[in-house]
Amino acid sequence: MGNSESVPIPGGGTEGYHVLRVQDNSPGQAAGLEPFFDFIVSIGNIRLDKDNDTMKEILKQHVEKPIELTVYNSKTQTVRQTTVVPSELWGGQGLLGVSIRFCSFDGASQHVWHVVSVQPNSPASIAGLQSNSDYILGAESVLNQADDLIALVQANEGKPLKLYVYNVDSDIVREVSLTPNSAWGGEGCLGCDIGYGYLHRIPISVDRSKSPIPPPVNKPPAPSSFPDPSQFAAPVNIPPPSNFAPPPATFPPAPPPAFTPQSTSTPMVQPQTSNGSTDGHSHTHDGHGHSHNHESHSHSHTPSPAPAPAQAPQGPQQSVSS
Protein backbone atom coordinates (compact mmCIF):
# COMPACT_ATOMS: atom_id res chain seq x y z
CA MET A 1 0.00 0.00 0.00
CA GLY A 2 1.18 3.47 -0.72
CA ASN A 3 1.39 6.53 1.45
CA SER A 4 -1.92 7.93 2.63
CA GLU A 5 -0.75 11.46 1.84
CA SER A 6 -1.57 10.80 -1.82
CA VAL A 7 -5.30 10.93 -0.98
CA PRO A 8 -6.71 14.46 -0.49
CA ILE A 9 -8.56 14.84 2.80
CA PRO A 10 -11.36 17.44 3.01
CA GLY A 11 -9.96 20.19 5.20
CA GLY A 12 -6.38 18.96 4.80
CA GLY A 13 -4.10 17.40 7.36
CA THR A 14 -3.31 13.80 8.25
CA GLU A 15 -4.96 13.53 11.66
CA GLY A 16 -8.11 11.77 12.73
CA TYR A 17 -9.61 9.24 15.11
CA HIS A 18 -8.31 5.76 14.46
CA VAL A 19 -11.01 3.10 14.84
CA LEU A 20 -9.38 0.31 16.86
CA ARG A 21 -12.38 -1.86 17.66
CA VAL A 22 -16.04 -2.05 16.64
CA GLN A 23 -18.51 -3.87 18.88
CA ASP A 24 -21.08 -6.21 17.44
CA ASN A 25 -24.58 -4.78 16.81
CA SER A 26 -23.32 -1.28 17.59
CA PRO A 27 -24.17 1.96 15.73
CA GLY A 28 -20.57 1.98 14.49
CA GLN A 29 -20.95 -1.47 12.99
CA ALA A 30 -24.24 -0.45 11.38
CA ALA A 31 -22.42 2.50 9.80
CA GLY A 32 -19.83 0.13 8.30
CA LEU A 33 -16.82 1.28 10.33
CA GLU A 34 -13.84 -1.05 9.88
CA PRO A 35 -11.37 -1.54 12.75
CA PHE A 36 -7.73 -0.58 12.23
CA PHE A 37 -8.26 0.62 8.66
CA ASP A 38 -10.79 3.43 9.22
CA PHE A 39 -9.97 6.93 10.45
CA ILE A 40 -12.80 9.35 11.26
CA VAL A 41 -11.59 12.70 9.91
CA SER A 42 -14.80 14.79 10.00
CA ILE A 43 -18.19 14.76 11.68
CA GLY A 44 -21.02 16.93 10.39
CA ASN A 45 -18.59 18.81 8.08
CA ILE A 46 -16.38 19.72 11.07
CA ARG A 47 -12.74 18.67 10.61
CA LEU A 48 -11.43 16.56 13.48
CA ASP A 49 -7.76 17.55 13.37
CA LYS A 50 -7.29 18.18 17.11
CA ASP A 51 -7.48 15.85 20.09
CA ASN A 52 -10.29 17.48 22.07
CA ASP A 53 -13.95 16.92 22.99
CA THR A 54 -15.41 18.18 19.70
CA MET A 55 -16.49 14.76 18.47
CA LYS A 56 -17.90 13.75 21.86
CA GLU A 57 -19.99 16.92 22.14
CA ILE A 58 -21.39 16.61 18.61
CA LEU A 59 -22.37 12.99 19.23
CA LYS A 60 -24.24 13.99 22.39
CA GLN A 61 -26.18 16.58 20.39
CA HIS A 62 -27.24 13.94 17.88
CA VAL A 63 -28.38 11.08 20.09
CA GLU A 64 -30.91 9.02 18.11
CA LYS A 65 -30.36 11.41 15.19
CA PRO A 66 -28.40 10.64 12.03
CA ILE A 67 -25.17 12.50 11.41
CA GLU A 68 -22.64 12.17 8.63
CA LEU A 69 -19.05 11.01 9.12
CA THR A 70 -16.14 11.43 6.72
CA VAL A 71 -13.90 8.37 6.90
CA TYR A 72 -10.48 7.67 5.41
CA ASN A 73 -9.61 4.00 4.83
CA SER A 74 -5.91 3.10 4.78
CA LYS A 75 -6.53 -0.27 3.11
CA THR A 76 -8.35 1.06 0.06
CA GLN A 77 -6.77 4.54 0.30
CA THR A 78 -10.15 6.17 -0.25
CA VAL A 79 -12.34 8.72 1.50
CA ARG A 80 -16.04 7.99 1.91
CA GLN A 81 -19.14 9.40 3.58
CA THR A 82 -21.23 7.32 5.95
CA THR A 83 -24.19 8.05 8.21
CA VAL A 84 -24.27 6.98 11.85
CA VAL A 85 -27.01 7.25 14.49
CA PRO A 86 -25.54 7.72 17.99
CA SER A 87 -27.62 5.75 20.46
CA GLU A 88 -27.83 4.88 24.15
CA LEU A 89 -30.31 2.09 23.51
CA TRP A 90 -28.32 -0.35 21.41
CA GLY A 91 -27.21 -2.39 24.47
CA GLY A 92 -23.48 -1.72 24.66
CA GLN A 93 -20.99 0.88 25.79
CA GLY A 94 -20.69 4.29 24.18
CA LEU A 95 -22.84 6.12 21.70
CA LEU A 96 -21.12 4.48 18.74
CA GLY A 97 -19.78 1.26 20.28
CA VAL A 98 -16.27 1.81 18.93
CA SER A 99 -12.84 2.25 20.48
CA ILE A 100 -10.88 5.14 18.97
CA ARG A 101 -7.65 7.02 19.52
CA PHE A 102 -6.44 10.29 18.03
CA CYS A 103 -3.36 9.95 15.84
CA SER A 104 -1.94 10.63 12.39
CA PHE A 105 -2.83 8.25 9.60
CA ASP A 106 0.25 9.24 7.61
CA GLY A 107 2.10 5.98 7.01
CA ALA A 108 -0.56 3.90 8.76
CA SER A 109 -0.33 1.26 6.04
CA GLN A 110 3.36 0.72 6.78
CA HIS A 111 2.96 -0.58 10.32
CA VAL A 112 1.86 -4.15 9.58
CA TRP A 113 3.63 -7.46 10.13
CA HIS A 114 3.20 -10.14 7.48
CA VAL A 115 2.97 -13.76 8.67
CA VAL A 116 5.21 -15.44 6.10
CA SER A 117 5.25 -18.99 7.46
CA VAL A 118 3.91 -20.90 10.48
CA GLN A 119 5.59 -23.98 11.95
CA PRO A 120 3.40 -26.93 12.95
CA ASN A 121 2.47 -27.27 16.63
CA SER A 122 3.90 -23.83 17.39
CA PRO A 123 2.16 -21.15 19.52
CA ALA A 124 1.34 -19.31 16.27
CA SER A 125 -0.20 -22.45 14.76
CA ILE A 126 -2.23 -23.15 17.89
CA ALA A 127 -3.54 -19.55 17.80
CA GLY A 128 -4.68 -20.06 14.20
CA LEU A 129 -2.27 -17.77 12.34
CA GLN A 130 -2.18 -18.52 8.60
CA SER A 131 0.86 -18.35 6.36
CA ASN A 132 1.03 -15.62 3.69
CA SER A 133 -2.57 -14.43 4.08
CA ASP A 134 -2.42 -13.07 7.67
CA TYR A 135 -1.17 -9.62 8.64
CA ILE A 136 -0.74 -8.51 12.26
CA LEU A 137 -2.14 -4.98 12.54
CA GLY A 138 -1.58 -4.25 16.20
CA ALA A 139 -2.37 -5.08 19.78
CA GLU A 140 -4.02 -3.37 22.73
CA SER A 141 -0.95 -1.15 22.86
CA VAL A 142 0.27 1.10 20.05
CA LEU A 143 2.74 -0.45 17.58
CA ASN A 144 4.50 2.13 15.41
CA GLN A 145 7.98 0.68 14.86
CA ALA A 146 9.32 -2.54 13.38
CA ASP A 147 10.71 -3.72 16.72
CA ASP A 148 7.56 -2.90 18.71
CA LEU A 149 5.94 -6.29 18.01
CA ILE A 150 9.10 -8.20 18.95
CA ALA A 151 9.41 -6.28 22.20
CA LEU A 152 5.74 -6.86 22.98
CA VAL A 153 6.02 -10.62 22.40
CA GLN A 154 9.16 -10.92 24.52
CA ALA A 155 7.53 -8.94 27.33
CA ASN A 156 4.58 -11.37 27.38
CA GLU A 157 6.51 -14.64 27.56
CA GLY A 158 4.19 -17.27 29.01
CA LYS A 159 1.21 -14.89 29.13
CA PRO A 160 -1.79 -14.64 26.77
CA LEU A 161 -1.34 -11.86 24.24
CA LYS A 162 -4.17 -10.39 22.18
CA LEU A 163 -3.36 -9.37 18.61
CA TYR A 164 -5.51 -7.95 15.83
CA VAL A 165 -4.98 -9.84 12.59
CA TYR A 166 -6.26 -9.13 9.09
CA ASN A 167 -6.71 -11.89 6.53
CA VAL A 168 -6.57 -10.89 2.87
CA ASP A 169 -8.56 -13.92 1.70
CA SER A 170 -11.57 -13.33 3.96
CA ASP A 171 -11.09 -9.52 4.15
CA ILE A 172 -11.83 -9.69 7.89
CA VAL A 173 -10.03 -8.36 10.97
CA ARG A 174 -10.15 -10.79 13.88
CA GLU A 175 -8.79 -11.01 17.41
CA VAL A 176 -6.15 -13.66 17.99
CA SER A 177 -4.99 -14.75 21.45
CA LEU A 178 -1.62 -16.49 21.59
CA THR A 179 0.87 -17.29 24.35
CA PRO A 180 4.55 -16.80 23.51
CA ASN A 181 6.57 -19.80 24.65
CA SER A 182 10.27 -20.28 24.02
CA ALA A 183 10.08 -23.91 25.16
CA TRP A 184 7.47 -25.06 22.64
CA GLY A 185 10.06 -27.25 20.87
CA GLY A 186 11.08 -25.12 17.92
CA GLU A 187 12.67 -21.82 17.00
CA GLY A 188 11.46 -18.58 18.54
CA CYS A 189 8.71 -18.05 21.05
CA LEU A 190 5.94 -17.87 18.43
CA GLY A 191 7.12 -20.40 15.86
CA CYS A 192 6.45 -18.23 12.82
CA ASP A 193 8.41 -16.06 10.40
CA ILE A 194 7.24 -12.45 10.23
CA GLY A 195 8.10 -9.88 7.55
CA TYR A 196 8.03 -6.11 7.91
CA GLY A 197 8.60 -3.38 5.34
CA TYR A 198 7.61 -2.35 1.84
CA LEU A 199 7.46 -5.89 0.42
CA HIS A 200 5.25 -7.07 3.27
CA ARG A 201 2.49 -4.47 3.22
CA ILE A 202 -1.14 -5.29 2.64
CA PRO A 203 -1.99 -5.20 -1.07
CA ILE A 204 -4.22 -2.33 -2.10
CA SER A 205 -7.77 -3.63 -2.32
CA VAL A 206 -11.02 -2.23 -3.63
CA ASP A 207 -14.14 -1.45 -1.66
CA ARG A 208 -16.14 -4.67 -1.87
CA SER A 209 -19.33 -2.86 -0.83
CA LYS A 210 -19.46 -1.11 -4.17
CA SER A 211 -21.73 -2.54 -6.80
CA PRO A 212 -20.01 -4.47 -9.57
CA ILE A 213 -19.24 -2.74 -12.81
CA PRO A 214 -22.25 -3.10 -15.10
CA PRO A 215 -21.71 -4.88 -18.38
CA PRO A 216 -21.25 -2.68 -21.42
CA VAL A 217 -24.42 -1.71 -23.24
CA ASN A 218 -24.55 -2.34 -26.95
CA LYS A 219 -25.78 0.96 -28.30
CA PRO A 220 -27.01 1.34 -31.88
CA PRO A 221 -24.70 3.34 -34.12
CA ALA A 222 -25.22 7.07 -34.01
CA PRO A 223 -27.15 8.46 -36.99
CA SER A 224 -24.94 10.04 -39.58
CA SER A 225 -25.28 13.74 -40.32
CA PHE A 226 -25.12 12.95 -44.02
CA PRO A 227 -28.33 11.94 -45.83
CA ASP A 228 -28.73 8.45 -47.13
CA PRO A 229 -27.59 8.46 -50.78
CA SER A 230 -30.35 6.02 -51.64
CA GLN A 231 -32.91 8.75 -50.94
CA PHE A 232 -31.65 10.68 -53.95
CA ALA A 233 -31.05 7.76 -56.33
CA ALA A 234 -33.62 7.61 -59.10
CA PRO A 235 -34.88 4.11 -59.79
CA VAL A 236 -33.30 2.81 -62.95
CA ASN A 237 -34.07 -0.49 -64.59
CA ILE A 238 -30.68 -1.64 -65.73
CA PRO A 239 -30.91 -4.33 -68.41
CA PRO A 240 -28.53 -7.25 -68.42
CA PRO A 241 -25.01 -6.45 -69.62
CA SER A 242 -25.54 -8.51 -72.79
CA ASN A 243 -28.02 -5.91 -74.07
CA PHE A 244 -25.28 -3.29 -74.20
CA ALA A 245 -22.95 -5.14 -76.54
CA PRO A 246 -22.23 -2.65 -79.37
CA PRO A 247 -22.67 -3.84 -82.97
CA PRO A 248 -19.47 -4.63 -84.84
CA ALA A 249 -18.04 -1.58 -86.56
CA THR A 250 -17.09 -1.64 -90.24
CA PHE A 251 -14.24 0.59 -91.39
CA PRO A 252 -13.02 1.05 -94.98
CA PRO A 253 -9.48 -0.15 -95.67
CA ALA A 254 -6.79 2.45 -95.25
CA PRO A 255 -5.26 3.78 -98.50
CA PRO A 256 -1.72 2.56 -99.22
CA PRO A 257 1.05 4.97 -98.24
CA ALA A 258 2.43 7.06 -101.04
CA PHE A 259 5.98 6.94 -99.69
CA THR A 260 8.20 4.87 -97.47
CA PRO A 261 7.93 6.22 -93.87
CA GLN A 262 10.97 7.47 -92.05
CA SER A 263 12.02 5.66 -88.87
CA THR A 264 13.89 7.04 -85.91
CA SER A 265 15.60 4.84 -83.36
CA THR A 266 17.69 5.45 -80.27
CA PRO A 267 21.24 4.06 -80.58
CA MET A 268 22.45 1.49 -78.02
CA VAL A 269 24.60 3.25 -75.44
CA GLN A 270 26.25 1.47 -72.54
CA PRO A 271 25.38 3.23 -69.24
CA GLN A 272 28.18 4.60 -67.11
CA THR A 273 28.55 3.13 -63.66
CA SER A 274 30.95 5.66 -62.18
CA ASN A 275 28.58 8.56 -61.57
CA GLY A 276 25.28 7.34 -62.95
CA SER A 277 24.85 10.29 -65.35
CA THR A 278 23.95 8.21 -68.38
CA ASP A 279 20.95 7.31 -70.44
CA GLY A 280 20.42 4.31 -68.14
CA HIS A 281 20.08 5.80 -64.64
CA SER A 282 18.49 4.80 -61.40
CA HIS A 283 17.20 6.58 -58.36
CA THR A 284 16.93 4.93 -54.97
CA HIS A 285 14.90 6.51 -52.18
CA ASP A 286 14.83 4.81 -48.76
CA GLY A 287 14.83 1.26 -49.93
CA HIS A 288 12.96 1.55 -53.24
CA GLY A 289 14.36 2.28 -56.67
CA HIS A 290 13.21 3.63 -59.99
CA SER A 291 15.20 2.57 -63.05
CA HIS A 292 14.96 4.10 -66.49
CA ASN A 293 16.99 2.50 -69.29
CA HIS A 294 16.84 4.25 -72.61
CA GLU A 295 18.69 1.40 -74.27
CA SER A 296 15.55 -0.66 -74.34
CA HIS A 297 13.24 2.00 -75.77
CA SER A 298 12.50 2.28 -79.49
CA HIS A 299 10.41 5.02 -80.98
CA SER A 300 8.78 4.70 -84.37
CA HIS A 301 6.97 7.60 -85.91
CA THR A 302 4.69 7.02 -88.84
CA PRO A 303 3.17 10.19 -90.23
CA SER A 304 -0.37 10.14 -91.44
CA PRO A 305 -0.76 9.60 -95.17
CA ALA A 306 -0.54 12.74 -97.28
CA PRO A 307 -2.41 13.44 -100.50
CA ALA A 308 -0.94 11.73 -103.54
CA PRO A 309 1.64 14.01 -105.18
CA ALA A 310 1.56 14.84 -108.79
CA GLN A 311 4.71 12.82 -109.37
CA ALA A 312 6.84 10.25 -107.52
CA PRO A 313 9.78 11.47 -105.37
CA GLN A 314 12.97 12.07 -107.31
CA GLY A 315 15.65 10.62 -104.94
CA PRO A 316 16.02 7.54 -102.76
CA GLN A 317 14.52 7.51 -99.24
CA GLN A 318 16.84 8.45 -96.37
CA SER A 319 17.08 6.84 -92.95
CA VAL A 320 17.92 9.19 -90.10
CA SER A 321 19.34 7.94 -86.85
CA SER A 322 19.88 10.05 -83.77
Annotated binding site for Zn(2+): 18, 103
Q: Report yes or no: 269 and 278 within 8 Å, Cβ to Cβ.
A: yes
The alpha carbon dihedral of 113, 142, 97, 75 has a sign of negative
Residues annotated within a binding site: 18, 103
Please list, in sequence order, all residues whose beta carbon lies within 8 angstroms of the beta carbon of residue 121, skipping any fewer than 6 positions away.
184, 185, 186, 191
Centroid of chain to Cα 4: 21
- Name the nearest CA neighbour of 6 among 105, 90, 83: 105
Residues β-bridged to residue 174: 165
Radius of gyration of the chain (CA): 47
Measured between alpha carbons, how far is 154 from 149 in angstroms, rounded to an integer? 9
Measured between alpha carbons, how far is 276 from 269 in angstroms, rounded to an integer? 13
Q: Rounded to the nearest 5°, which phi and psi values hold at 114?
A: -85, 125
